Amino acid sequence: MSRFHVTLLEESHALQILGWKYPPPYDFYNPPNDRPAAEYVKELLNPEFQFHAVLDEDREFVGFCSFGSDGQVSGGHYQDQALDMGVGMKPELTGQGFGYPFFDAILQHAIKRYEPEWIRVTVANFNGRALNLYRKFGFTLLDQFKDDGLGFRYSILIRQSLITPLSVAD
């Protein structure tokens, strides 16, 4: 599984996401169950949030991404112009070395479709795997903050759109 394709998120993908369960400490990313599933599906399919599906080479749904305000976390400072990205991989695929090609497909899609000057990601500080991955792609720390809700600490990372990431071996 080394090739990934980004396409529009469909209702079937949204329903799958609602069933995902991550192990601790990543269970922080588990979809909430405090509202009816139909409300979450509607949110995931809302064009404002630009949710997309990530498919593998066999066209299997393996993750998602979003472009825009959904990638922001309450409490962060997002006054500078940048394309915010959110990313999620199917729980059973995390930690298995797929992160680099998975994120590369998402990043290339973002650059081609949105043509941003700057790209920004916000990640919980405990998620060392994601932080390391983003650094390999040339993202640098812009800010850190504590969210307004659960009190988690986050890092906001940013990079220029048209730079070359480090190689996978780095």
Calculate the alpha carbon distances from 127 to 20, 97, 131 in Å. 18, 15, 6
- Whole-angstrom distance, CA of residue 70 vs CA of residue 25: 22
Within-domain flag for 136: yes
Q: Confidence band (pLDDT; 50, 70, 90) for 56?
A: very high
Number of domains in the chain: 1
pLDDT of 32 reads 81
Domain with 64, as residue range(s), is 4-160
Within-domain flag for 170: no
- Whether residue 1 is predicted with pLDDT greater than 80 in this model: the reply is no
Q: Confidence band (pLDDT; 50, 70, 90) for 169?
A: very low
CATH number of the domain that residue 102 is part of? 3.40.630.30
- Whole-angstrom distance, CA of residue 122 vs CA of residue 130: 10
pLDDT of 162 reads 79
Within-domain flag for 168: no
Mean pLDDT over all residues of the chain?
A: 91
Within-domain flag for 76: yes
- Whether residue 4 is predicted with pLDDT greater than 90 in this model: the reply is yes
Strand runs labelled E in 9-162:
51-56, 61-67, 83-89, 118-124, 140-146, 153-160
Q: What are 66-110's pLDDT values in tens digits?
A: 999 999 999 999 989 999 999 999 999 999 999 999 999 999 999
Within-domain flag for 165: no
Are the C-beta atoms of 131 and 103 separated by less than 8 Å?
A: no
Within-domain flag for 54: yes
